[in-house]
Amino acid sequence: MLKQKLNWKRPLFYALLPIFFVMAFLGFPLPVGPLPATKPAQEQAVVVKKKKKRFTLLVPGASQDETED
């Protein structure tokens, strides 16, 4: 007497019916708040190479340009 063929469509419809009502009043897609702000990435340190100092002999009476040759 209670041997009815079970159908998956009817329970699915009644399970999703509250969601359809909410979407009808609030709109589609559902309004959600913005995502939280992400933390800024840690800055990467750059190694600064120092220039090698050039030692020149200072000759008295000569200009700096002549000693660089």
Q: What pLDDT does 17 receive?
A: 93
Q: Would you give the DSSP letter of residue 68?
A: T
Residue-wise pLDDT tens digits, 11-68: 888 999 998 888 888 877 767 888 888 888 888 888 888 887 776 666 666 555 555 5
- What pTM, to 2 d.p., does this model score? 0.34
Supply 13's token pair: 């419809």
Residue 53 region by backbone torsions, left for phi larger than 0, else alpha for psi between -120 and 50, else beta: beta
Contact assessment for residue 38 and residue 50, using Cβ atoms and an 8 Å cutoff:
no
pLDDT of residue 59: 64
Give the pLDDT of residue 2: 62
> Residue ranges per domain, the chain?
7-31
Q: In this predicted structure, what is the pLDDT of residue 34?
A: 86
Which pairs count as long-range contacts for 25-33, CB under 8 Å and 24+ apart, including other chains? Answer: none
